[in-house]
Amino acid sequence: MTLTHVQDLDTPALLVHRSRLEGNIAGMQRVADQAGVRLRPHIKTHKSKEIAKLQLAAGAKGLTCAKLSEAEAMSEVCDDLLVAYPIVGEAKFDRLEALSGRVRTRVSVESLEAAQALNSYLARSGRTQEALVKVESGLARTGVEAGELRGFLEQVLRLDRIRVVGLFTHEGIAYRCSGRTEIAGLLAGIAGRLAGMRETFRQVVGIEPEVSPGCSLTAKALTTSHGFTEIRPGTYVFADTFCVESEVFAEEECALAVLVRVIAVKGDGRVVVDGGSKTFAMDRHPRRGHGMVVGHPEIFFDRLSEEHGVLLTKTPERHRVGDLLEIIPAHVCPAVNLHDSLFLREGDEVLDEWRIDARGCVR
């Protein structure tokens, strides 16, 4: 059923290639299957129930969410959710309680204060909560350091309502690596550190833990020897400029582009399009700027204001006001989060419009 054609869509609009999306979903499932790990995709990239359903149908075991509100949305299509984020504050405990009444939940523990507060709440509600311990692997945000893990686990074990079942990390620093070899090395180092932590976990907690890294770039380097039980990649469903520049994904694997229209062409090489930071998000790749213009490797996506995107080219005469361009965002996750829906395409046909169900779910 063809709704319309890409050329007839109003701009700016998110376009998703159906076959590339399905290829990326199948490809990451193969990676997980071959390495003997469960795939629990992070939905922060697509925030779409339809895409989550495709991932689950392809073999994913459960989903990962960053915020409870994302998990609340995804609980309509999946009954096994990891909220890979600290749950802090009474309002969130109430919401976790309600969510856990509907689906299986796991949460992150990464500070003793938050774990103690959650434990006190659970003692009143009578429930027990499964949790994974977030361990730090280079991003310097939250997470338990390797040297603190034993002491942390010993403390958390005293909390009778929280049952720690494993370790997880987010090795997002892979996005700073230059190429596949460096990324494979990073993953090997993280796997080594996690192996040590796994042993500590066994000793302190007395069970075999889940061990779960979570990055689309390192996932492609995964082998059975890394010793993981689960992976949580997110960006792979669409891929983006950062993924291509890391040399882990090809431009032809990028499933999402933003359709924009040229609104000005200036003699100094400026081609201005009708999407800015409220369309693409402000994220910027050091070498490529705010995105890659499909079919125009000679264009540099230089600047964004709120509703203007400024491209630079040495051949402005190739462009005219009114032309359509497709641009792969620098970082696809925050870009998708700015939009209410995406258009599923195959070639120039628009097949469907899907809501971005968890857009704006930051609580």
Bridge partners (DSSP) listed for residue 17: 345
Using the Cα atoms of residue 110, residue 111, residue 113 and residue 119 in order, give the sign of their dihedral: positive
CB closer to its own copies, 21 vs 114: 114
**12: cis peptide before it, omega within 30°?**
yes
CB closer to its own copies, 180 vs 359: 359
Least distance between its own copies and beta carbon 278 (Å):
5
Are 288 and 240 spatial neighbours (Cβ–Cβ below 8 Å)?
A: no
CB closer to its own copies, 91 vs 250: 91
Least distance between its own copies and beta carbon 206 (Å):
27
For the chain, how many residues are written? 363
Least distance between its own copies and beta carbon 251 (Å):
23
CA dist., res. 239 & res. 25, Å (int): 11
Instruction: Please report, as ranges, the residues that interact with its own copies according to CB under 8 A.
Output: 8-13, 44, 66-67, 85-86, 88-89, 91-92, 95, 110-111, 113-114, 117, 139-143, 172, 261-265, 270, 272, 274-275, 277-279, 281-283, 305-308, 310, 320-322, 333-334, 337-340, 359-360, 362-363
* Residue type present at position 121: Y
Are 135 and 143 spatial neighbours (Cβ–Cβ below 8 Å)?
A: yes
CB closer to its own copies, 38 vs 359: 359
CA dist., res. 128 & res. 191, Å (int): 30
Instruction: Tell which residue, 163, 241, 162, 227, has the closest CA to residue 193.
Output: 227
Are 28 and 358 spatial neighbours (Cβ–Cβ below 8 Å)?
A: no
Instruction: Tell which residue, 336, 274, 269, has the closest CA to residue 296.
Output: 269
Least distance between its own copies and beta carbon 159 (Å):
15
Least distance between its own copies and beta carbon 68 (Å):
9
CB closer to its own copies, 207 vs 321: 321
CB closer to its own copies, 117 vs 146: 117
Least distance between its own copies and beta carbon 22 (Å):
25
